[in-house]
Structure 1
């Protein structure tokens, strides 16, 4: 049987199918070509199957140059030899064998495509989950909008603390990834700076924030839960610093030379003579201070316990407010900030007093007062809150009933029964207590 030639394959079609044939492997199949009247040139592999049936299996379409989707004569001959080789190896049902192979290839291909699709879907799902995971910064912002906004300062002080000491370490972490060690990393950094009380405060705030997250199903477990607050910086020690009479006299001599602003110097004596909280004073507005009637109204929103408080001003206290008034005549605030669009920071006076009570070996802080020991007293460091405690202590030493002194401090009665049934206002007694305190301070500072 002669070989099929390109000349035969490109010959002009006839009026009926023209068949050409050549042996692929003798006894195991032949390459067959068919030229149809319409000009189609097709290749087949002809063989005998296991049932002794003569099968003509299509294998391709002819083109001389083997353009895409077609076969050259040589390629067709090679394919026929491969199929004949299968027949010779014992595979008689070529068509079924090829269909089985193709089905297997399709199955493998589909499985691979399914695997790739599944991996892609898993990756996309993971990316979506990752994008949906709140980080600590997002949690803090959520907490601030829901909880912190209800605080007197709108959460400004907590935000300042977190932006300085918490968010730089934890801000970008996913909330669910935060562990106990990350919490202690924050508090350890504060303890290393020697600010133990601040470490405790920030720990408590972090605990509030993570419990907020648990309540909203953002996390299943509060990472601060297994940390005992007492372990953060040791046990809290309640301050009991009270300035002695001699220290008050000494303070009267030291303050004019301490380089304080006159308003800050006056704040010392207002805090001592009214037993107010320094934050209440620094947030005061002149509309609430009546120097003629000798009354200072502290609104509920400026009071720590949320209760409005009326302070009767002694002559001593009025004179201090008058000194402040000289420097803030154009402001609605007693202690305005630099822009005059609000009060100064509540820590302003505390920092000024602290800067002037540094021990000789501690040196001078950068950009702070050079008079680093100007307000040191024999009994040790003191704070504006110690002045409040001192004022109340002096009251009781002068015969004021402790219950009246407590009212002057605007403390909430701890005994529920007393809170409920004892409604006497003690207004007269409180006014008398403030006058007695002012008169006493007038005497001891006048002789300083």
Structure 2
């Protein structure tokens, strides 16, 4: 059968089957006409159904059928009925018949199809929304902690949140990590703190460490929950309020040892400072007098770098962490200057600032002794195994390991010392730490008549002022006054430690 027998009319507008206008095409005829020869031609199938021949980029041909009708509002519209040969011609005609039936009832088939699509999409959206709500409702304390420690707006501490993660993974998440945020209560939080105390009691942990742990966890929980309270989806989950706000400070205090104070007040007296120097010297002499081959059993002296760290913390009022991160490139012994980059200082990122210390003769001498030990490295206190500085807690640990009577340890820690070599005043005033040296230095500066404002600046404290005018216009850095303060304190230390007849300050705990 030729195309001439198939096609009755071949007008410029519409092609009709052999039977003429109003007749239906046979499947065979449609297969014949679905050809590139008839590209973009329109065919009529009767009863308002017409198709357009398409040729795809792949070379395949098809006929797209629409039903042309006048809507109830009088508009001419095309209603898609399917594409041949992907869709059978019977199915295509059935779609047309359904559209005609809808029109007979006064329903526009195109608008009905659009409404069905909208309803389907609304159903899909609702399903997704409901699923998201279910997922959000199941978000737990552990999920909040993970978000808080990884989000760009979350907590970012100097150590990369390592200590924070270690504390939460040890104490918090095993107890309340699985609780849904929407179901978290103040009883859960208090129960957590009580559990920490109970475990410490069973293990006979040091009470001071326990008190500090409770304080830290309580505050970190508050910081985490308040961060979540301001952000979705956590805010939506706390519709009943933030449970941390229901805990009164006295409830936390009741879990701690009586008389506990978070802030230490330990200050070394002049006598204790002189005693410390004597202890360093005695440990060195005793060790050197031990016969060869027996030194392993003797008490080792405090290393020269640790001794220098002690005297530098005391004489410069610096933080132990700032000192242990120091690099030789930032220290000018000829000029008597030590530059501490803002990145090494304590504080929030946007509040950190460079700190320049004018070194007294006493401090310069300590740096010279240290340089003889580590001057061939980039760092003043280099790590043994890494091309960087030592751990910023190393000196604190070494000093603490020689005051074990305050540690309540059953046995020595692996690879650590376990004695009381550095206990001062026979332990009457308690344990001392490197940070206590910073407090001691600032207190002694006060006794020397140095202004508290200058002492604050020597410690690189942020000087708060409510006056915007002073903050914006008064930028004098008090370099001269600070240098004089460090000189006076250094001279006092030099006389204190090198003159047996010096008149010392009266020992007093602040």
Q: Normalization by structure 1: what TM-score?
A: 0.65
CA deviations 1:64-100 (Å, max 9, x no partner) are xxxxxxxxxxxxxxxxxxxxxxxxxxxxxxxxxxxxx
Counterpart contact for 1:243–1:390, Cα < 8 Å: yes
User: In the alignment, which residue of structure 2 is the partner of 1:366?
Assistant: 413
Asked whether 1:339 is paired with 2:391, we answer no
Q: Using the TM superposition, give the Cα deviation of residue 250 of structure 1 relative to its aligned residue in structure 2, in angstroms.
A: 0.2
Matched, 1:205 2:228: no
Report the CA distance shift for 1:326/1:163 in structure 2 as closer, same or farther (over 3 A). farther
Show the counterpart of 2:422.
375
- What CA RMSD, in Å, does the superposition of the two structures yield over aligned residues? 3.1
SS at match of 2:449: coil
State whether structure 2 residue 470 is matched by structure 1 residue 445: no
Q: 2:148 aligns with which of 133, 143, 147?
A: 143
Q: Give yes or no for the alignment of 1:436 onto 2:488.
A: yes
TM-score, L = length of structure 2: 0.58
CA contact (8 A) 2:412 2:418 kept: no
Q: Structure 1: where are the runs of 5+ without partners? A: 1-121
Q: CA 1:162–1:333 in 2, change beyond 3 Å: closer, same or farther? A: farther
Please state if 1:179 is matched with 2:185: yes
Report the CA distance between 1:132 and its aligned residue. 7.3
Aligned to 1:188: 194
Partner of 1:53: none
User: For 1:246, which of 247, 266, 271 is the aligned residue?
Assistant: 271
Residue correspondence of structure 1 range 20-419 to structure 2 within 5 A: 129-130=134-135, 133-145=138-150, 146-148=152-154, 150-192=156-198, 193=200, 194=207, 195-217=210-232, 218=234, 219-220=237-238, 221-233=241-253, 236=261, 238-256=263-281, 257=283, 259-305=301-347, 306-329=352-375, 331-359=377-405, 362=408, 364-367=411-414, 369-378=416-425, 379-417=429-467, 419=471
Counterpart CA distance in 2 for 1:431 and 1:343 is: 27
Q: Which runs of 5+ in 2 are unaligned?
A: 1-126, 201-206, 284-299, 501-510
Cα distance in 1, alignment partners of residues 192 and 393 from structure 2: 23
In the TM superposition, residue 223 of structure 1 has moved relative to its aligned partner by 2.5
* Contact 1:272–1:387 under 8 Å retained in 2: yes
- Rounded to whole Å, the distance in 2 between the matches of 1:253 and 1:339 is 32
Contact 1:299 1:307 in 2 (8 A): yes
- Separation of aligned partners in 2, 1:148 and 1:347: 25
Q: What's the secondary structure of 1:310's corresponding residue?
A: strand
